[in-house]
Structures are given as C-alpha cells and as structure tokens.
Structure 1
Amino acid sequence: MKPEVYFTTFKTTTQENLLQKLHRLIKRAGMEDIDFKDKYAAIKIHFGEMGNLAFLRPNYAKVVADYVKELGGKPFLTDSNTLYVGSRKNALDHLDTAYLNGFSPLQTGCHVIIGDGLKGSDEAVVPLNGEYVKEAKIGRAVMDADILISMTHFKGHEMAGFGGAVKNIGMGCASRAGKMEQHSEGKPHINSKACIACKACQKICAHDAPVIVKDGKSHIDQDKCVGCGRCIAVCPVDAIGADWRTSIPVMNRKMAEYALAVCRDRPCFHISLITDVSPNCDCHSENDIPIIPDVGMLVSLDPVALDQACADLSNKMPVISNSILGEKLAGNIEHHHQDRYTMTHPDTDWTECLDHGVRIGLGSREYELIEI
C-alpha cells in the first residue's frame, strides 16, 4: 500500500484557527496511535539562525508538545549544533538563539535540549553499514529519545535543493562530526595562522593525529587521522576545517542514510509546513522573499513520501514575481514549468536524496494524498 500523506491548506474559518487545524491534522493522521505513555519524545525542529525570520513559529511546536503530553509522553524540542560559525555553534549560543526566537519552555510548553551537547561532540555512534555511511554520528539526546517527531519548515536549500523532512532529520540530528562526514570526503586540516596551540585537538583525538610542529602550532597527521571531525567541535577559534569535496549528489545520499540511522527501530512521526518558502536554509542569518505562496501543512509516517508530496504541491504554485526565483524566470519562458527548487538552485538535484531513501528502505516516493 502507498503511504498516506495528510494535507490541509492554511485557509481558516472563524470556528478554527491554524493551531487548531494543525492539531486536527496530526490527530487525523494517527499520532495518537503511537504509545507515548511515559516515553521521551524528541521534537526535531530548526530554531532559526539569529536574524532569520522564516523559521516556523514556536506556536506550532507548542501544539505538538501539548498533544504529546496529552498522550502521556514527555516532549522536548531539539536540534544539533552547526558545523559553521554562527549563533548555533555551541549549546549555550544555540539555547540563547532558540529562546530569543521564541522557543522557550514558557512559550512552547516543553524544554529545549541541544542534541549533541555543549560543543557538538556528545554523540551516539549508530552502526549502519550503508553504501556511504558505516557509522552515523548522531546527537546523543536525539538517540536517547524513545520517539522522534520531525517538524520541518519546508523551504529552498542551496545544496539539497530543498530543506525537507529527510534533511531536517539526517543533517539536523547529526553531531558536528556527523555533519562534516555528510559534507566532506576529506579529513580535517588546521589553519596554522588561526591556531593558538591550545592542544584541545590533541586531547580529544583518540588516534594521536594532531601534533605540535616547530612553530608551536598544531598540524594533523593525515595518515593517523580517521576523519571523525571531533577536533572541529572542540577548537575554540575555528582553526580546524574540512576539505569540502563531496559532490552534491553524494551529500544527498549520505543525508538519506543518516536519516535512516535516526529513524530506524523506533516510532517516528513527520510534520512539514510549506510556509514562508525562502530560497535558502533557515541557517542563514537572513531570509529572502518567499519564492512561492504558502501551501499548507502535511503529515506522514513516511519522510520520503512527505518530502515528495511537499515538492509536488510546491510545483503547482505560481512563482512570486519579485522573489529570487521570479527574477531568474523573467524573460526565460522555457523554464517556467520546471521544478521550483531546482530552478532556484540549478546545481542541485533533490531527487538524489529521495531515490536513495527508497533504495535503503527509508520510505517511498509514491503516496496517497488525503486532504482534510
């Protein structure tokens, strides 16, 4: 049987607002069929980079958290630290950003736990033996949860084509080392000009790869390095980086394998809202004009089917004329019927992620859309 994807628009009535409509949607989709009694439920959401205003409003997260509690569960909001330098690189800055963007316990009804700890190095190593990933490095708090709920802001993305449920889970739940693995085929290296010789990389490395050279700066012995990326997480001055050589298709396939590592062997429930569809990820410290109008809210037990349904509905929408996509299309009539997300980022191909997700058993690209 095709997996079911439940859908409702953002249209409301005087009898039902958007938050009530979301509650009705997740209930109709069977969220209460999951046994939440005394179970920890991780609600994976993007808190938004400081300065970005396109992320999902915390009001939506409260609806989900309240329903989990109603069903006897113990919800918490979570995301893992970023690999790049920004306002969510460590747990303290990440929490500050989450709270300033409205995701405080007083507003959402549940606590925030940063998935991979203070410096992004608190991870669970999940055996996978995939085509690209042998051991996935996932934030420990995410893997400690009994149930995973992904709550995704569906939008464009400069590398993945779009940021959907699979990306929210696969890249978003990974530790900093896990993010590096998905982005890179190389090993970390040290910028000697930035290095302050604090030896934090030496202390964290289990393979004695970082060594101090003549100028007092650290250097990574590439023969000893296994590419785990833990040194990137602990460097206090961001002197350690990776060789970003992974192609976009390979990154998308790794992302699907990481999502499988997160979802496998436990109940999962997936929610996506196609609203404020910015061309780029919410990791940006800014957001641009949406490329298409708001579409609606979708829910499924299958993250691949959910992403496919979101893409299909997006591609039925008109392009907003003064957006980046609208400007690209101006005077370029032959591209008007192409995919909205690959038109926005022509070097991307989101189908690589979903096709690989099908191959590894993460989900199906075929689905039955049930509109309520």
Structure 2
Amino acid sequence: MEKAKVYYADMRTSFNENLPQKLERLMERAGIGKIDFQNKYVAIKIHFGEPGNLAYLRPNYAAVVAKTVKKLGGKPFLTDCNTLYVGGRKNALDHLDAAYQNGFSPFATDCHVLIADGLKGTDEALVPVEGGEYVKEAKIGQAIMDADIIISLNHFKGHEATGFGGALKNLGMGCGSRAGKMEMHSAGKPYVDTEQCIGCGRCIKICAHDAPSIRDKKASIDHEKCVGCGRCIGVCPADAVQPAGDESNDILNRKIAEYSKAVIQGRPNFHINLVIDVSPNCDCHAENDIPIVPDVGMFASFDPVALDLACADAVNKQPVIANSQLDRMPHTHGDHFCDSAPSTNWKTGIEHGVKIGIGTTDYELIQI
C-alpha cells in the first residue's frame, strides 16, 4: 500500500510570503486542486472557539481556505454543530453570536457561516457507518451531509478526554448533532437534573417513545422506554436533561473515528491541521492555558489518520514550555499528550481509524 502523503510547512515567513500565503501554497502543493469543486457545495468544518477562549484558529486562516475553494469553482461555507454541554454555542443563535464575536463574519472570511444541526441541535442526518463496531448509524448535522465536499480546518491541540484534538476530533465529535455527541460520550441514557427542571414539558412533546413524564412539576425519564436518541437534550430550555457521560476515553476515541467515517465516506475530503497555540485543553473551554510546546507548523493531507499521527509525532519532538501544564506533570508516558492528560490514550483513535479503513499510519512527510 502506498504511503499517505502529509505536507508540512513551518511558521517562518519572509518579505515575499506571509502566513496566509504560505497556507495557500501548502494546500496547492498537497493537491487540493485535484478535487472537482465546480459548482459544488463545500463544508469547511472549523471550531469557532468558545467565548473567552483565545487559542482558536484566527479567521484569517479560514478566509484562505474559502477563497481557495472559490477560486477552484466551489461554494464554501464555514460550519460547526452545536455543543452538548452548557455554554456559548449550544444553540444556533448563541453559536452564531460566538462565531461573529470571534471574527468569523462573511466580511472577514469571504463566506457564510451555517450551524449544521440547526437551531436546537436536532437537525440531523442518520448516516450508516460501514463496518462500525460501536456506531451503526451516526447522527450528523444535516448541512454537513448536504454538502458535496468536506474540508476540515483543525486547530491541533491537547484534549482532556481524547489526548489531542485534530482532524478526527473535528470531523467526528464536531460534526455530530447534540444527540450524536451524547452517543459518543455515553453508553447510557439521559437523565433529568430536577433542580434545573422547570416542568415545561418540551421533552414530552419531542419524545416518540413516551419516556419522559412530569410529576410535581419535575420531569423524569423512564429508561425502559428511552432509546437514547438525545432529542430531549436539544429541546430542554433549562439544560436540565443531561447525558450519562459514562463512556471510557478509549471507546470515546473509537466512536469519534467511526463518526469521522460517516462524515467523509463516499465524497471528496481534504484536511488541514495547524499545530499552533497547542493549549492543553479543547477550544470548547471558555479559557485557554498557555501552550505546552512551541508552535510547529501547518500540515495538510487527504488522509486524516496519517495527518493526525504526523502532527502528534511532530509535537512529541518539541521541547516542553516552562510553567505550562505539561511542565508541571510527571513525564512518565514518554508522550506529551498522555503526560499532560494521564487518563487519555490518543493512539486508540488512530488505531481504530486504520481498522475501519479511513486512513493509514504509514505516511511520508513532505516539507514545502
């Protein structure tokens, strides 16, 4: 089998080339022009950053990708799905506010923003996962599945549950609807936090299985009837319906790989990782700690597994930044991400991605 090609550029600039121009050159060298974009809808999957977090990718990078797609004849849009947790991006209106607040306006990025799973995170496509061991039918944001082509533009950084977040995390977890995110995080079924419940009954109206009921103005969910679809989570106005959150990190990584397969299977896809501002935790946090290693560079590939592995290998070659979270942790694993978040093992997601056929660990790194 031929090695996957992963293209790399460092973050050095010159009087003749700035970073946006370098990213454009990287994409061209990595072969983005081989895709037929003519009159195709192109979903550019990105994380807009939780309000308060400043480690997310600058909109300047998204603008480069959008303009490249337009130059090749495509119709790009920036997209993400609503979050499962309570925060600034749990519904489409708040999510758009967050995106615009962080600079992702059509004027800055040269394309529009669509929240893929709709107003309340319930607008989803049910996508069969070929060969899925944990997920038979992924719940993916409808607008993402309506696109003809998917490009992931990923901030490669640490993550407290998966070890790191890169292409697979942005594709798998990021493209899942709120119910899809619950499926990845949980093997159980949702429950009601009665202290937060306001007894509005919206969970009863949305459920097709008569699982929720209200007694003494508080809802409860009958797990004998509940099928775990998670729609009640999306419609609850008080965030009283909560996922079980009982899945192990290893299985979480494998489910993310299977959701990634649902997103990319059967259509052209291309992936970019920017290994900069490598914060220890996800951009979903309303804050960001200092980076754990110095900036590394930009990477691009048609293979999301090889891309993530190449970036992890590159990060592990970097020195640790003094006074960072990683610097304060025991270095017992021989791996920066596992040392920074000892309960994680990012390799499980990589291995499962290979097993289900979405990529390879055999890569060739080509510096431009």
Structure 1 and Structure 2 fold alike (TM over 0.5): yes
Following the alignment from structure 1 to structure 2, what is the Cα–Cα distance between the partners of residues 242 and 289? 30
Residue 212 of structure 1: how far off its partner (Å):
2.1
After superposition, where does 1:13-162 map in structure 2 within 5 Å? 13-128=14-129, 130-162=132-164
Matched, 1:163 2:165: yes
Aligned to 2:208: 206
Please give the TM-score of this superposition, normalised by the length of structure 2.
0.98
1:145 is matched by which residue type in structure 2? A
**Structure 2: 5+ residue runs without aligned partners?**
none
**Structure 1: 5+ residue runs without aligned partners?**
none
Following the alignment from structure 1 to structure 2, what is the Cα–Cα distance between the partners of residues 58 and 352? 31
Following the alignment from structure 2 to structure 1, what is the Cα–Cα distance between the partners of residues 111 and 359? 30
Please give the TM-score of this superposition, normalised by the length of structure 1.
0.97
1:142 is matched by which residue type in structure 2? I
Residue 17 of structure 1: how far off its partner (Å):
0.6
Matched, 1:194 2:190: no
Partner of 1:253: helix, strand, or coil?
Answer: helix
Following the alignment from structure 1 to structure 2, what is the Cα–Cα distance between the partners of residues 106 and 205? 40
After superposition, where does 1:205-244 map in structure 2 within 5 Å? 205-213=207-215, 215-244=216-245
- More displaced stretch, 198-207 vs 250-259: 198-207
After superposition, where does 1:163-182 map in structure 2 within 5 Å? 163-182=165-184
Deviations 1:132-185 (A, max 9, x none): 001100000010000000000000000000001000000000000000000000
Residue 334 of structure 2, aligned match among 338, 341, 345: 338
**CA root-mean-square deviation:** 0.9
Residue 226 of structure 1: how far off its partner (Å):
0.3
Residue 202 of structure 1: how far off its partner (Å):
1.0
Following the alignment from structure 2 to structure 1, what is the Cα–Cα distance between the partners of residues 322 and 193? 43
Matched, 1:366 2:367: no
Following the alignment from structure 1 to structure 2, what is the Cα–Cα distance between the partners of residues 290 and 114? 29
2:199 is matched by which residue type in structure 1? A
Deviations 1:177-234 (A, max 9, x none): 0000000000011122321121111111111111223x13222111110001010010
Partner of 1:324: helix, strand, or coil?
Answer: coil
- Give runs of ≥4 in structure 1 deviating > 6 Å: none
Deviations 1:286-312 (A, max 9, x none): 001100000000000000000000001
1:21 is matched by which residue type in structure 2? K
2:255 is matched by which residue type in structure 1? K
Matched, 1:318 2:319: yes
Following the alignment from structure 2 to structure 1, what is the Cα–Cα distance between the partners of residues 307 and 313? 10
Residue 314 of structure 1: how far off its partner (Å):
0.5
Residue 13 of structure 1: how far off its partner (Å):
1.1
Following the alignment from structure 2 to structure 1, what is the Cα–Cα distance between the partners of residues 288 and 255? 26
2:204 is matched by which residue type in structure 1? Q
Deviations 1:98-127 (A, max 9, x none): 001000000000000001000001000101
State the number of aligned residues.
366
Following the alignment from structure 1 to structure 2, what is the Cα–Cα distance between the partners of residues 172 and 267? 18
- More displaced stretch, 319-328 vs 71-80: 319-328
Following the alignment from structure 1 to structure 2, what is the Cα–Cα distance between the partners of residues 85 and 146? 31
Calculate percent identity across the aligned residue pairs. Answer: 65
